[in-house]
């Protein structure tokens, strides 16, 4: 990790990209055209590749610049937010765009519900208890070890935060969630080779069948809006967009928004992005100087001092809103990755069945008929 140091000694560490920074979170990238926003997006895609199996991209400029060729299947690229209703004779561009956003979110809500049901600790435990001692192997030993470790960690957390009960409860909850995830993985490890034999059992209840069927179900979606702030603007104050922005974690949506300027997003949204990445000095400093963003004077002064040191060559500045290290500001340099097709094998197979060869045109464009031959 390299660290940039200003003439006055201000330190800016390098941001080492990893999936935990982005999965189920919102990242906003600010900067003018041709300042590397799409390169950053592709680097994020590479980081989350093993964790997310689906992607949807809205990129109005894709027909002309082909930025995502070789990275996202054309079937998953939308030039605008548009989902028409053939039964609605009064359908409008606004209604079709709203329908697009609502459909994406509702689908993710259902996928999240299925995932939650399939990953119920009680149901997994019940299925595990159906396995013979031989099939469990060392599973009982691993589970007992995890339970002992959990008690030790939680006791330590309570002692560490004995003077702050609120923080203690929060840290205990976080520890509990981590151990629950580990326990779920142990159950799945021993259930996986026995799915077929368990499925044949006649007395399985509905929850157990759901759990077996969706044992390795991945609900996560990568949703990218690349330079389409003008299309998004009418929806910023709509409930559906607030859900996408604020509640995406609960629906397993990883969202990336690329904007030309920080003013492309309203204050309440840009202040709640988990990570904000700036590709150019002016956009960066104006964001932190803007009164509506309510950054303290010390932060403004810090950004003004580090910006000349950071924005050299291809270096960018990242701001992490909730940073466990309390550093918040980092520099990063993203190299252009080799093409890789994002998504699972099943997604690629689906795209292959619906893919059309050659250049496609928006037949809903009002000028399409004038050029039709």
**Residues 71-124 pLDDT 10s:** 999 999 999 999 999 899 899 999 999 999 999 999 999 999 999 999 999 999
Q: Domain check: are 300 and 271 in the same one?
A: yes
**For position 351, what pLDDT does the model report?**
86
Residues 273 and 256: beta-carbon distance below 8 Å = no
Same domain, 247 and 299: yes
Q: What is the pTM of this model?
A: 0.89
Does residue 266 sit within a domain? yes
Size of the chain in residues: 373
CA 71 → CA 49, 60, 75, 76, 272, distances in Å? 11, 16, 12, 11, 28
198, 308: one domain? no
pLDDT of res. 293: 86
Same domain for 238 and 273: yes
With respect to residue 17, please indicate whether it lies within any of the assigned structural domains: yes
What is the spatial distance between Cα 202 and Cα 204, in angstroms, rounded to a whole number?
A: 6
71 part of a folded domain: no
Same domain assignment for residues 209 and 189: yes
Q: Whole domain around residue 20: which residue ranges?
A: 3-61+219-345
Q: Quick one: 232 and 297 in the same domain? A: yes
Residue 75 lies in a domain: no
21 CB-near residues (< 8 Å, 6+ apart): 15, 47, 274, 275, 320
For the chain, the domain total comes to: 2
| Helix boundaries (H) for the chain | 37-48, 62-65, 93-118, 121-129, 133-136, 139-160, 165-191, 195-199, 206-213, 229-232, 239-246, 267-270, 281-289, 297-310, 345-354, 368-371
Report the distance separating Cα 15 and Cα 331, nearest Å: 6
Give dist(CA 268, CA 293) in Å, integer.
8
* Whether 226 and 272 share a structural domain: yes
pLDDT category at 262 given cuts 50, 70, 90 is confident
Q: Residue 42 pLDDT more than 80?
A: yes
Do residue 52 and residue 156 come from a single domain?
Answer: no
């Amino acid at each position: 990790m390299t660290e940039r140091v200003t003439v006055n000694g201000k330190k800016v560490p390098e941001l080492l990209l990893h999936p935990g920074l982005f999965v189920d979170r919102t990242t906003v990238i600010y900067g003018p055209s041709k300042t590397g926003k799409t390169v950053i997006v592709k680097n994020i895609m590479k980081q989350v590749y093993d964790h997310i199996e689906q992607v949807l991209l809205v990129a109005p400029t894709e027909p002309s610049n082909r930025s995502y060729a070789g990275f996202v299947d054309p079937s998953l690229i939308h030039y605008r937010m548009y989902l028409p209703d053939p039964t609605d004779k009064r359908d409008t561009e606004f209604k079709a765009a709203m329908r697009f956003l609502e459909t994406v979110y509702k689908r993710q809500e259902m996928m999240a519900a299925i995932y939650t049901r399939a990953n119920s600790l009680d149901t997994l435990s019940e299925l595990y208890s159906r396995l013979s001692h031989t099939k469990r192997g060392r599973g009982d030993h691993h589970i007992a070890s995890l339970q002992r470790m959990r008690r030790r960690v939680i006791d330590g957390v309570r002692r560490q935060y004995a003077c702050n009960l609120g923080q203690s409860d929060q840290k205990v909850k976080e520890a509990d969630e981590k151990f629950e995830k580990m326990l779920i993985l142990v159950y799945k490890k021993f259930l996986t080779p026995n799915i077929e034999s368990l499925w044949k059992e006649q007395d399985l209840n509905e929850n157990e069948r759901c759990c077996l069927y969706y044992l390795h179900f991945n609900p996560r979606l990568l949703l990218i809006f690349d330079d389409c702030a003008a299309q998004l603007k009418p929806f910023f104050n709509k409930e559906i967009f607030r859900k996408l922005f604020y509640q995406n974690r609960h629906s397993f949506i990883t969202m990336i928004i690329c904007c030309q300027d920080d003013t492309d997003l309203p204050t309440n949204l840009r202040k709640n992005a988990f990570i904000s990445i700036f590709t150019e000095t002016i956009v960066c400093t104006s964001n932190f100087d803007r009164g509506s963003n309510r950054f303290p004077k010390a932060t403004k002064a810090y950004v003004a001092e580090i910006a000349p040191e950071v924005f050299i060559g291809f270096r960018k500045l990242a701001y992490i809103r909730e940073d466990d290290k309390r550093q918040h500001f980092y520099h990063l340099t993203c190299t252009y990755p080799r093409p890789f097709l994002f998504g699972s094998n099943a997604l690629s197979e689906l795209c292959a069945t619906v893919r059309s060869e050659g250049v496609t045109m928006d037949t809903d464009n009002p000028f399409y008929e004038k050029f039709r031959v």
